Amino acid sequence: MADSKKAKQAQSEAKKAAQMETLKQVLNYIRKYWFLVGLSILLAAVTVILTLYVPILTGDAVDLLLGKGAVDFGAVFAIMRKIALAMVITAVAQWVMNTCNNHITYHVVKDIREDAFHKLEQLPLKYLDAHAYGDIVSRVIADVDTFADGLLMGFTQLFTGVLTILCTLGFMLVTNIPIALVVVCITPVSFLVARFIATKTFSMFKVQSETRGEQTSLIEEMVGNQKIVKTFSREEAVKEEFAEINGRLQKCSLKAIFFSSITNPATRFVNSLVYAGVGIFGAFVAIRGGISVGRLSCFLSYANQYTKPFNEISGVVTELQNALACAARIFELIHEEPQVPDSENALVLKDAQGNVKLENVYFSYVPDKKLIENFNLEVKPGQRVAIVGPTGCGKTTVINLLMRFYDVDNGKIMVDGTDIRDITRGSLRTSYGMVLQETWLRAGTIRDNIRMGKPDATDEEVVKAAKAAHAHSFIKRLSEGYDTVITEDGGSLSQGQKQLLCIARVMLCLPPMLILDEATSSIDTRTELKIQNAFATMMEGRTSFIVAHRLSTIQEADIILVMKDGNIIEQGSHETLLAKGGFYAMLYNSQFAG
């Protein structure tokens, strides 16, 4: 029992520490706009003071209404002019204050989103591979929007609320101490209510935000792969999974909203207690002549204004709890460990010769699950290296290591005699032309997609690359030709057409080294033969790595590496490996039996 209490206490302290850390990070972003924050606080003070000055003027006017035929209209009109002036100044001050608050909030949100997006560009691929895309999108979009709403409410109502409480209390103490003490005695009830609500809502809103991210992830995944879902008749299973997540979101949202909805009625109850206390006690004081009727009306107005901010602040606290919970998730992303940066003396690879060497390379995605062990390979400039083997043997992993999407655990990979960890990532990747089995297109025109690797290419160069990739004919059949706008998933383009566009990109850049990972897997046999001829021309004098399952496409390779369980078990030319009658021969014969 004691251990359970200690565990709960430790957990509670950890939550408070995490919340304080999140708040510090928010303040660090706000600090840049300290001038606007100071101006906002100053205008809030002006607004509050003038708002509290009006009841005093009203009380003075009430005291001038002595009875029938005994009203000092001149003095009353003078007071009314003062009230009108105070209201105009208050309105202008509130407008300027709200403008400052909006400026602070949306500039802070802009800074956070920029930092989050820049961090996404710096994160290693292993982070993106381990996290659902929908959850990441939810953090950058939905969580930041929720944070903005809470922050704006905090700036708009928190400053004025706190200042209203302090200034009202000061005015009341100056006016009549006994009545003011009645207000002070009832006030702690509001603090207790606000604290109870705040402690309950933070953890619940955090769970709500996490579950919303999970739901966004599922929707993004299912919408993007709707054809696969329908192909395997998984609609009902997906509906059930969505319903389960949606149910959890409903429950945690209801809990969060329930406790946050307690705020208004609870604080209104406290407000009524304060107002009733001031009214009853003040009436007895007024009967004994301790306070005028005008001053008592002023006090009642103060009692109402004094308790109203507690209602607003409680609501603000609830929203801030939600905002901080969302901020914690986005800060988790921003403070993720980035990929190892290029060293200060990193070499910029120019005019690479294509001499690639792997020495005693060890690598695994998961530490306790070995993949590549003691991998050795030397590729001379201009050689064509084909990598074959069963699924999961490490073919694509070798490509990831060559491109330095992942760093080796042990050993080293060298290009032109330099360890790739001593070469800038940008120059290394620019030296490779890469066509993957999975196509990727951006939203834009066909021409923009082909120009991705070479933005300054002329229209003639784009057309020449498309012709070399045998994509020109289908592009011309499109409604707008090269100016046809496509979506990020290629829209109505077939998988083969999308792959031809990706091949055209590489044809346009013509880098010194090539990586073709199942580059023609979605192309018909006739077009594939033409593409192979184009590749053959392009690969002349260029070091090329070809990953293929169809062994007919790699027979002309200089070296064929046969991989199994992360190791090279055979290597040589096509004829040599067939003559050996080993694993490669078995693979080849299985494809061409009969």
Residue 325's pLDDT band (boundaries 50, 70, 90)?
confident
> Which among 204, 168, 188, 152 has a CA at the least distance from the CA of 316?
152
Arithmetic mean of pLDDT over the chain: 80
Assessment of whether the complete model's pTM goes beyond 0.75: no
Q: What is the pLDDT of residues 293-313, one digit of tens each?
A: 777 777 777 777 776 776 677
Q: What is the DSSP letter of 386?
A: E
CA–chain centroid gap for 191, Å, is: 35
Q: In what order do the strands lie in the sheet with 384-388?
A: 432-435, 513-517, 543-547, 384-388, 559-564, 567-572
- Most confident range, picked from 303-307, 465-469, 493-497, 565-569: 465-469
Cβ–Cβ under 8 Å, residues 441 and 500: no
Q: What is the pLDDT of residues 132-189, one digit of tens each?
A: 777 888 888 888 888 888 877 777 777 777 788 888 888 778 777 877 787 777 766 7
What is the mean predicted confidence (pLDDT) over 401-406? 87
Tokens of 105: 């909030």
What pLDDT score was predicted for residue 535?
A: 74
**Residue 438 and residue 519: Cα distance in Å, rounded?**
9
What pLDDT score was predicted for residue 206?
A: 75
The answer to whether residue 30 scores a pLDDT higher than 60 is yes
What pLDDT score was predicted for residue 67?
A: 55
Q: What is the pLDDT of residues 364-392, one digit of tens each?
A: 887 777 788 888 888 888 888 888 888 77
End-to-end CA distance of the chain: 74
Task: Walk me through the domains of the chain, giving residue ranges and CATH numbers.
Answer: 24-208+258-334 (1.20.1560.10), 340-431+513-594 (3.40.50.300), 436-510 (3.40.50.300)
Residue 195's pLDDT band (boundaries 50, 70, 90)?
low
Helices and strands, counts by H and E, the chain: 22, 12
Q: Find where tokens 């006690």 sit.
A: 281
Give the residue, 212 or 191, on which the prediction is more confident.
212
What pLDDT score was predicted for residue 89?
A: 92
The answer to whether residue 490 scores a pLDDT higher than 80 is no
Give the residue, 415 or 263, on which the prediction is more confident.
415
What pLDDT score was predicted for residue 66?
A: 57
Question: Which amino acid appears at position 227 of this protein?
Answer: K
How far CA 118 is from CA of 111, 115, 338, 428, in Å, comes to 10, 5, 10, 21
What pLDDT score was predicted for residue 368?
A: 76
Q: What is the pLDDT of residues 529-574, one digit of tens each?
A: 767 777 777 777 888 888 877 776 677 788 888 888 777 788 888 8
Residue 96's pLDDT band (boundaries 50, 70, 90)?
very high
What pLDDT score was predicted for residue 4?
A: 61
The answer to whether residue 92 scores a pLDDT higher than 90 is yes
> Which among 434, 385, 367 has a CA at the least distance from the CA of 563?
385
What is the mean predicted confidence (pLDDT) over 77-100? 89
Question: Which amino acid appears at position 191 of this protein?
Answer: F
The answer to whether residue 454 scores a pLDDT higher than 70 is yes
Cβ–Cβ under 8 Å, residues 499 and 507: no
> Which among 251, 303, 315 has a CA at the least distance from the CA of 277?
303
The answer to whether residue 515 scores a pLDDT higher than 90 is no
- Most confident range, picked from 196-200, 401-405, 486-490: 401-405
What is the mean predicted confidence (pLDDT) over 256-283? 75
**Residue 257 and residue 564: Cα distance in Å, rounded?**
55
